[in-house]
Amino acid sequence: MRIHLPHIPRLFAAANQVGEIAQLLFLLASGFAAAAVLVLGYRWISTAPDAVSLTGRAALWTAGVLVAVVLLPVLAKWTLVGRFRERTVPLWGAAHLRFWVVSTLIRTNPMALAVGTPLYTAWLRLLGARIG
Taking residue 78's Cβ as centre, other Cβ atoms within 10 Å add up to: 14
Q: Say if CB 65 and CB 110 are below 8 A apart.
A: no
**pLDDT tens figures, 71-126:** 999 999 999 998 888 888 877 788 888 999 999 999 999 998 999 999 999 999 99
- Ramachandran region of residue 89, left (φ > 0), alpha (ψ -120 to 50) or beta? beta
Per-residue pLDDT for 8 more than 60?
Answer: no
Nearest to 21 by CA among 104, 97, 108: 97
For 69, phi and psi rounded to 5 degrees? -65, -35
3-state secondary structure 51-109: HHHHHHHHHHHHHHHHHHHHHHHHHHHHHHHCCCCCCCCCCCCHHHHHHHHHHHHHHCC
d(CA 114, CA 70): 11
Q: Which of 14-23, 37-46, 48-57, 107-116 has the lowest mean pLDDT?
A: 14-23
Distance CA 103, CA 110 (A): 14
Q: What is the pLDDT of residue 16?
A: 74
How many whole angstroms separate alpha carbon 107 and alpha carbon 117?
17
Q: Give the pTM.
A: 0.78
Instruction: Supply the pLDDT for residue 11.
Output: 53
Distance CA 65, CA 68 (A): 5
**What pLDDT sits at residue 1?**
44
